[in-house]
Amino acid sequence: MTVPKFGLGTFRLKDQVVRDSVRDALELGYRAIDTAQGYNNEGEIGQTIADSGVKRDDLYITTKIKPDNYSADKLVPSLRESLDKLGVDAVDLTLIHWPAPRGPVSAAEYLGALADAQAQGLTREIGVSNFTVALLKQARELLGDRVIATNQVEIHPYLQNRKLAEFAQQEGIHLTSYMTLAVGKVMEDDVLKDIAKAHGSSPAQVALAWAMGQGYSVIPSSTSRDHLASNMKALDLKLTDEDMTRIAALDGQGERLANPPSVAPDWD
């Protein structure tokens, strides 16, 4: 199993909004869906998948364990609840959502419980999210031979996370970019608009193609069917070396968008 390079994100989407987004995405050909216990939408996603008629084997489903469920006595039971909501026997990938370095549960405990969930067949692959270089090193030591399928982190043209990206590349750790569109900021960027014009594409497609061009997976979300269809076209967009260099120069022009103090680490 490998993490698909393109999928649907569902952060902040709830109730009928998430049902419509997932339904439209599946109809358009999306086959990877990313959710989390903390999004409170697993049940709606599960029902929409069931109603879609898309075969389970054709889907790649990711969920994330929320910090409240990190302890050894809670993680596996909470994942079983997620599976029930999603209507599946197992998910393809389960992530630790935040490292919670100042929380009551140690990395050794929650990563051990995550490995146990994999051993029980509840998830085919395991990974982490929002882990720094130091935390990735610790996770690899704690997990031993178990593969970290991905580290899902905030990466967009204005926050390119180069230290982490270089380490991940050297160590063969896959990265998944979230908030790749910088909550819409890319749509107003003159550099991205200029590149998009040259390719007959959109700034959003350019940002997504830029991330995928570096080997990252992307999971953009949208409540618009047209935008969902447009985002998918990034799969066919090939940027030039000059395009990539121009986008690289945008690094450092935006603040970190996801940084909850109770669970965020000391970033690289």
Residue among 39, 60, 110, 158 flagged as catalytic: 39
- Does some domain include residue 249? no
- Does some domain include residue 16? yes
Signed CA dihedral, 121, 147, 174, 158: sign only: positive
Q: Residue 146: give its domain's CATH number.
A: 3.20.20.100
- Does some domain include residue 64? yes
Where on the phi/psi map is residue 150: left (φ > 0), alpha (ψ -120 to 50), or beta? beta
Residue 39 appears among annotated catalytic residues: yes
Contacting residues for 227 by C-beta, under 8 A, at least 6 apart: 204
Phi, psi torsion values for 82, nearest 5 degrees:
-60, -40
- Does some domain include residue 250? no
Q: Can you give the pLDDT of all 268 residues of the chain as single tens digits? A: 589 999 999 999 999 999 999 999 999 999 999 999 999 999 999 999 999 999 999 999 999 999 999 999 999 999 999 999 999 999 999 999 999 999 999 999 999 999 999 999 999 999 999 999 999 999 999 999 999 999 999 999 999 999 999 999 999 999 999 999 999 999 999 999 999 999 999 999 999 999 999 999 999 999 999 999 999 999 999 999 999 999 999 999 888 999 999 999 999 9
- Does some domain include residue 113? yes
Domain count, the chain: 1
Structural domain boundaries, residue 52: 8-181+216-221
> 225: exposed, middle or buried (C-beta count within 10 Å: 0-12, 13-18, 19+)?
middle
- Does some domain include residue 235? no
- Does some domain include residue 65? yes
